[in-house]
Amino acid sequence: MKNILRPGSLLLYFLTFIAFLTGVMTFAGISDAAANQELASGAIVFMHGVFFAAAVFSVSILIYYLLSEKSVKFLSIFVSFFILIIAGLSYCNYNVRQKSKTEFQLERKSSEIINAGFTPVSFGKSKNTDGSIGMGFFKPDFVNLPVLYFFYENPYAGDPTDEIPKKDSITFSLKNFGTMDISYAPPWLAPAHLKLDYDILYFRIMYVSYNFIEIKVNEYDDRTAWVKKDAGEIFYWPEFLLKVHSVEFLNPAEHKVRVRPFNYSDEVSYKYEFMKPVIINDEWMYVELYDDDYNLTGKGWLQWKTGGKLLISYSLLS
């Protein structure tokens, strides 16, 4: 009868146990077998390896009993190479996970810095109706121009041949799935609208010159800066309002949708829940009226501004 406790057999048993213990643990780690198990995840992965290795250990005893001494040596060498391969895979998987963890921590830290540094007035709904409404909005071309430079208040104050001094800048970066993010912004930045996952970033326009425009970079303290006109798109109020999802009256009791663009015109009799701009003529806006189910119920005119003040609020998103 073959002795199953010889040194050669013990080496085979040990190598087989180690090989399948590390192999199963590596596979369990790569496949996230213990995902979302928090503190118990390590123990779960280890027990996967122990149970499977114990089963293979039992089989290895039978294999040794059936094989010749020469075959056992070749099998031991093969298992040793298998252990080296598994160790290499484990090392690569560890490096990948550490890199992903580091990138996530850096991204979260960057996001925390940005969020702590500035707060947009709104994501998609107008709120600033007390101050100057400005001339419209400026949208930076953050897809093609990764940096938006802010210049001093008057870019023409010095010699036109001199280089214009920069005040600060915003740096944009590409995130996963092709969405844009802000990797750097000055702490005082507070644009009118910001939601980059919907390609929304608007600054209120205060002045327009031939090459530059002055925008409001902080909606809370009315701070302004100059940017190059070709660094983005300009949407004057009529163009901007025709892009919004819907509008509503700031004071529905005083302002109504009318049949014609006159204050003394009759009010429309249609029932509606929201209004969508279609045509703009000076201070008046022609709107489509919709119910909750997005069914068109009628059309009419409303006055959207008077004396440089908005009479409506608007929503960029549904």
Q: Name the pTM for this structure.
A: 0.60
Question: What pLDDT, on a 0 to 100 scale, did the predictor assign at position 7?
Answer: 56
Q: How many CA atoms lie within 13 A of 191 on its CB side?
A: 22
- pLDDT number for residue 104: 43
* Structure confidence at residue 114 (pLDDT): 40
Report d(CA 302, CA 63) in Å as an integer.
Answer: 88
Residue 113 CA to residue 120 CA, distance in Å, equals 14
DSSP states along 241-253: HTTSSEEEESSTT
Give the pLDDT score at 57.
61
- For residue 51, give the H/E element and its range: helix 41-66
Which DSSP symbol is given to 165?
Answer: P
Task: Report which residue type is found at 113.
Answer: I
For residues 52 and 20, the answer to whether their CB atoms sit within 8 Å is yes
Helix, strand or coil, per DSSP, at residue 22 = helix
Please tell me the predicted confidence (pLDDT) of residue 91: 73
pLDDT at 38: 43
pLDDT reported for residue 210: 87
* Per-10-residue mean pLDDT, the chain, length 318: 51 61 59 47 56 62 61 68 72 67 46 42 51 92 93 62 71 82 92 92 94 94 93 97 96 95 94 96 96 94 95 92
